[in-house]
Chain A
Amino acid sequence: MQHTEASEQQNTDHANTTKLNMRKLLMWVFLGSDCLFFGAFIATYMLYRNSSLVGPYPQEILSIPVTSASTFILLTSSLAMVLALTAFQRGNTSAARFWLFSTAFLGCTFLGFQVFEFYTFVEEGLTPQTNLFGATFFTLTGFHGFHVMLGVIWLFSLLGVSMTRGIPAEKSLDVELAGLYWHFVDIVWIVIFTVVYLLSSLPSASSH
């Protein structure tokens, strides 16, 4: 009951003729536009991944076991995020903070995996300047990593606000918006994992 009142208060703050919460609508518009951003990078990667004149080539360097682990971590962070939101909406502050911290921590772990992967690739001779695969791979995964980094900063900021001023149930929309962004980063990775890693790692995917 308290839950519903909190939601109503939240909506009262942004009442309008559409009866939709404008902050949430704006977030969805942003996510829709971000699809175009990543769509362009994914298209570029798919076009040029097999056009490199020199190696390393995708199937020589991509590591499915390592990337599977980082994918599992990002999927788990999405679960932690939705549990954090549920806890905030129910007014369970301690659980909400735990899950919010867990989400941010898992996000940092994912970034650690990405840094490790980039470092390994550079060690093995693949940089953005090496070939077309390197240029498109680092651009796509780098921008995704940048999105994850922004999400981690957002989550830690929310955690800081929760620790200092508190985030009551009627302000849970602040957490929900961060959650939408975080889940979006997750679904983009779902696509990247399939297109960049699983499909590109096959020997038959190479035409060099």
Chain B
Amino acid sequence: MSTSENVDSHHDSGHPTAKQYVLIGIILTLITMLEVAVFYVEALRSVFAVIFLGLSAVKFAIVAFYYMHLKFDHTLFSAFFFVGLFLAGSIVMALMAILGAF
């Protein structure tokens, strides 16, 4: 097995260019500005949680998949990270359920 088959050899395998990284940065900034703008719209107060958690999830995914290269790297890296993330989310939900936060 040649070293070129090493699965995390990736730097020329479709990674974004510097310009694309800047574009991603602009998108992240725009989403943050949107979050802050929504915060001051009283009419949307009843759906704030859904909007904020949704936009936060989008930002999270963009950084993880593009800046951290999970989209381009071996799936085992994603597996280790998302298992940890899933367990963390489960801890949050379990603690809140057990201690009556819902």
Q: Measuring CB to CB, which residues of chain A are less than 8 angstroms from any residue of chain B?
A: 3-4, 6-12, 15, 18-21, 24-25, 28-29, 31-36, 38-40, 42-44, 46-47, 64-65, 68, 71-72, 75-76, 78-79, 81-83, 86, 89, 172, 179-180, 183-184, 186-187, 190-191, 193-194, 198-199, 201-202, 204
Contacts and interface: CB of A to CB of B under 8 A. Distances in A.
Interface residues on B, range: 35 or more
B86 to A, nearest CB: 9
Contact of B25 (A24, A33, A46, A79): A79
Contacts of A86: 17-18, 21
Contacts of A198: 35, 39, 48, 52
Contact of A47 (B22, B24, B85, B96): B96
B101 A32 contact: no
A143 to B, nearest CB: 14
Given A25-B80, A40-B91, A194-B35, A35 B7 contact: no
Nearest to A99: B18
B3 A8 contact: yes
A21 B12 contact: no
Given A11-B3, A20-B76, A47 B45 contact: no
B87 A36 contact: yes
B87 A3 contact: no
23 contacts: A3-B12, A7-B10, A8-B6, A19-B6, A20-B7, A20-B77, A32-B85, A35-B87, A39-B87, A42-B88, A46-B96, A46-B101, A75-B29, A79-B21, A79-B22, A83-B21, A86-B21, A190-B56, A194-B35, A194-B53, A198-B35, A199-B49, A199-B52
Chain B interface, DSSP helix/strand/loop, else mixed: helix
Contacts of B3: 8-9, 11-12, 15
Contact of B88 (A35, A179, A190): A35
Interface in B1-59: 1, 3-12, 17-18, 21-22, 24-25, 28-29, 32, 35-36, 39, 45, 48-49, 52-53, 55-56, 59
A21 B11 CA distance: 14
Contacts of B59: 187, 190
B12 A4 contact: yes
B66 to A, nearest CB: 8
